[in-house]
A and B are shown apart, each in its own frame.
Chain A
Amino acid sequence: MTDSAVAAINPHANGGSSGVITLDNLSVSFGGRPILKDLRGELRGRAIGLLGPNGAGKTTLIHTLLGFHPPSSGTARIFDRDIRGDASQIKSLIGYMPERDSFISKMSCIHFVRFMAELSGLPGSAALERAHEALFFVGLGEARYRNLDTFSLGMKQLAKLAQAIVHGPRLIFLDEPTNGLDPPARLRMIKMIREIRDSGQANIVLSSHLLRDVEECCEEIVILKDGRLVVYCNLEEERKANKKFLMLETRGDLKEFVEAVNQLGCECAVTSDHRLKIILQESTEIRDLYQLASKSQIQIRRLSYKRDSLEDIFLKAMENGHGGS
């Protein structure tokens, strides 16, 4: 990972100087086989997307931060608490929605969520109240007295989200939250994640292999490849930093217009009689091009605009990332 990627990008989210999650040369091995390799970085975003191909180590990273696997070397800190020494304190600040179906059978949904709240340290009456609130929040208010065994896959996902947020954690780990959801259910899940993010009450780490989910919910992304952290960036900053490509279809004499565009510092190429390809500078706005076109007396008939999408960033990371040994 580059130094610029290690540097914290979004200092406003957590209110303080320290990050939400600090990875300090974190490595994890299973049976001598390295799974996570020397991860470094300070994650500060309100919603952090954890991306990577299958087997990249996303879930292992979450499990290690949750204290399920001990680091083989290095460490990590969550809200300035070390995962090796302050595991119990950390766990009282976090919520976790696992990827796989995880339930306690023969329980009604409200009983299950209340039970989870009590295990998180809430007294019985507060746990019951928060369980009702959490289930209404996720949209299971009407089904809260039904047995979990009778729930559909989508409802189970919502119940898992409810148990992850019932105790009002400061950091929520969501592992593939839209797995198995139909499009409307997926949209509902995304909307809820954004609501939690926008409430400013909790930070979110969203692990997914669905780029669209991450793009819609997260402001920062971490991309893992072969157990290494290859990209950490703020999505908006990254998009701004990327050059903007324009394809123009015009009518009129292009010569004067091309000169004017070049004077703005933009690269310009005429691909056919009426077609232009322009790479915009950061300071150049599309409005400027319309003004130049007006002065040069040409018509802009079509303008297509393209920025790097998350998919581009991801694919670039997969091509250029220093994964592997």
Chain B
Amino acid sequence: MAVLERAYKQYQGPQSPLWSRFLIIPRHAYRDVFRSKIFTGFFALSFIWPLVCAILIYLHHNIEAIAALRIDVRALLPIDAGFFQVYVIVQGTIGFFLAMLVGPTQVSRDLTNNALPLYLCRPFSRSEYVAGKMSIVVILLSAITWVPGLLLFLLQSYLEGWSWFRDNAWMASAIFLGSLVWIVLLALMSQAISAWVKWRMAARAALLGVFFIPTVFAEVINGIFQTRWGHIFDLRALIGNVWAGLFGTFVRQTGQVEEFRNGRVIREVIMTEPPLWASWFMLFLICAFCLWLLSRKVKAYEVVK
């Protein structure tokens, strides 16, 4: 290495491919992210549930183990769409906390240190910057959600046989798509909050608030108007409906209210969840809003009018 070279010279060597440049950001970011022992520990713990699921799948197909346990594992916990849906919900929840640890610091740190001009004066666009920052969360969460999910699906297919794989291949796409929607939503929301809230703890609190405060608001609407349409404002309900739709367990009618007078039913209200398309549409709107928020902040310099 010519470290003693002290004259200025142009670079004439090969260039990295343009399409892969955004991946430079997560590669360097992980060095910082995994320096935290708390995060590394939490990340390792997030593989426990996939491991438990793998053991359950294995027990399902191990006659000796079933005999030794003296319980009918197959009847107790069938490996079906519900099983994988629960897997996605658990891993998605863990993914939320991972995103909360990693996401809110990414853009805010660059804004605080005026680093954006350094990125954007290079052959590196604003969209590549956003894609790079998002991919920090996307890659991490993929590693704990759909990647092990698909491995579990393949394990089950291997043990159950080709016909099971053929009949249930749609579940693989549900695992992948369901996880991906959640991951993209988390990545976008954490980056958008990071761009607008510079203080790290406040940004984390804001991300938590965005997921839990609308739930209260939604329940108030549901209570007042005796409906389930309040869920349209509840992110947890929206993604829950989307997952249920993907795994084929979505039910629109989730309850009914009956009003009595003198022992007679005078009014009956059937509580129906918003249709699936509405949940998808709302998630799309939220993502678009986050992108708009990012586009307002991710600039080399802000022009003060």
Contact = CB atoms under 8 A, between A and B. Distances in A.
B59 interface: no
A115 B28 contact: yes
B175 to A, nearest CB: 33
B300 interface: yes
B4 A165 contact: no
Given A102-B115, A103-B115, A121-B21, A132 B3 contact: yes
A174 to B, nearest CB: 12
B11 A130 contact: yes
Majority DSSP secondary structure for residues of B touching A: loop
B113 A199 contact: no
Interface size on A, as a range, is 35 or more
A115 B303 contact: no
B11 A195 contact: no
A136 B4 contact: yes
Interface in A146-183: 163, 165, 167-170
A63 B300 contact: yes
Interface in B166-207: none
B13 interface: yes
A195 B14 CA distance: 26
B109 interface: yes
A126 interface: yes
29 contacts: A31-B305, A66-B117, A91-B121, A92-B122, A100-B114, A102-B118, A103-B113, A104-B109, A104-B110, A105-B109, A105-B112, A106-B32, A106-B109, A111-B31, A115-B28, A119-B24, A122-B16, A123-B13, A123-B14, A126-B11, A129-B1, A136-B6, A168-B8, A168-B9, A168-B11, A196-B8, A199-B7, A199-B8, A201-B10
Interface of B: 1-16, 18, 21, 24, 28, 31-32, 109-110, 112-115, 117-125, 299-301, 303, 305
Given A116-B118, A170-B10, A202-B8, 17 more contacts: A67-B120, A68-B300, A91-B124, A103-B113, A103-B118, A104-B109, A104-B118, A107-B32, A119-B124, A122-B11, A122-B13, A126-B11, A136-B5, A137-B6, A167-B11, A168-B9, A199-B7
